[in-house]
Amino acid sequence: MEDSKEIFIPLTKREYFTVEDLFSEYHYVQLETNEQCLLPGWEELRRILIDEAGKIYVGALHKVFVFHSDGRLDWVLDRRGDGPESYNHLWNFRVKANGDIAVIETSYAITTYDKEGNYLNKQRFIGIGLDDMVYLNDSLMLLKQDGLQQLDYIFYLANAYTGHLQGGYTPMIARNKWVYSLKTFFYEYEHKLLHHGYQSNDIYEMYPDTALLRYRINVDNRIPPEDFWRQEGKDGMQIRREWSRSGYIGHIPYYVESDSLIFLRFEGGQKELCAYATIDKKTRATRLMKRLIFGDRFNWEPEVVFSLRDGWCVIPLYPDKVLTNPLFSARFPGLNEESNPVLFIGKLK
């Protein structure tokens, strides 16, 4: 790829993509549906992760649903409550290599359970509202704070065993005024930890002591001014209304990168300024997606894409969409309108 960190994406005509255009390999997993695991709509999914053994973890409804690789339910982590071994809210979660599940709460805490659901520990980070976290190694965590507090830094390091803070970086100049409903995620690619999210056009490489700019996504020269989200004299709703009419494009909510391709979602304040795009890493050629054709002419623009690692991602396909195409839905015996979503799991070319 060229040395320049900025990638320009023009607002051009949108095209139909096939899954074969984007993915070198893929498969579908039909999640079991029963009284123990009735998943909500995509808006309430917190995250989907898949471990090295292929187990699928779905965070939703303040629970973590654990499925086998073939979609059969394994068990459900449901420890929400007020007790010392409970969590009060599931905002996000992580799965360690040994199967431990770390629940990221909104009350400045991370509560961890083993792979049978037994309580292990609770680490409190007083005053630091957490958005995401990742284990850098066995003994060190990187925390991303949610921007609701006026703190010194955006990213903090903590001891993975004790929770003790060991410093921070990327100074926080001022609190953003509109952050209350937005999520951001870390993404792993080629042994690098990347960060992308809302209120930013930038993709960062994360290290224990610094964040380095990897790419800046410039869609049609519509990047918001630097202090747009922190305007003095305006509250969050005023900024949101201004965003809706501004023509700016400044959210990168979904991002997947492989050796040759980048697949991402960009969003502006108007529907026509939101789209999925691909970037050829060698030539920087870009394409905008209108809809994705999965098979049997079933085509759809995904509501959400959950990035995994190294070019892998998950797209939940809900029955109300799938059942509109009888040929495609016939692939999934027993699927009905009350069923859990089918997961498309693919590796980007």
pLDDT 10s digit of each residue in the chain, 349 long? Answer: 556 899 999 999 999 999 999 999 999 999 999 999 999 999 999 999 999 999 999 999 999 999 999 999 999 999 999 999 999 999 999 999 999 999 999 778 999 999 999 999 999 998 888 989 999 998 999 999 888 788 899 999 999 989 999 999 998 888 788 775 666 789 999 999 999 988 999 999 999 999 999 999 999 999 999 899 989 899 989 999 999 999 999 999 999 999 999 999 999 999 999 999 999 999 999 999 999 999 999 999 999 999 999 999 999 999 999 999 999 999 999 999 999 999 999 999 9
Task: State the DSSP H helix or E strand holding residue 49, giving kind and residue range, or none if neither.
Answer: strand 45-50
Q: Let me know: does 29 contact 342? Beta carbons within 8 Å.
A: yes
Going by C-alpha positions, the residue among 197, 195, 214, 337 that lies closest to residue 254 is 197
pLDDT of residue 181: 60
Q: Let me know: does 2 contact 23? Beta carbons within 8 Å.
A: no
Q: Let me know: does 121 contact 87? Beta carbons within 8 Å.
A: no
Q: How far is CA 63 from CA 40, 101, 242, 284, in A?
A: 11, 11, 36, 40
pLDDT of residue 150: 82
Backbone angles phi, psi at 128, to 5 degrees: -105, 100
**pTM, two decimal places:** 0.95
pLDDT of residue 47: 95
Going by C-alpha positions, the residue among 84, 176, 195 that lies closest to residue 136 is 195
The alpha carbon torsion through 222, 226, 231, 237 (nearest 10 deg) reads 40
* CA angle, residues 130, 134, 139, in degrees to nearest 5: 110
**Hey, what long-range contacts does 222-225 have (CB within 8 A, 24 or more apart)?**
222/247, 222/248, 222/249, 222/250, 222/268, 222/273, 223/248, 223/249, 223/250, 224/248, 224/250
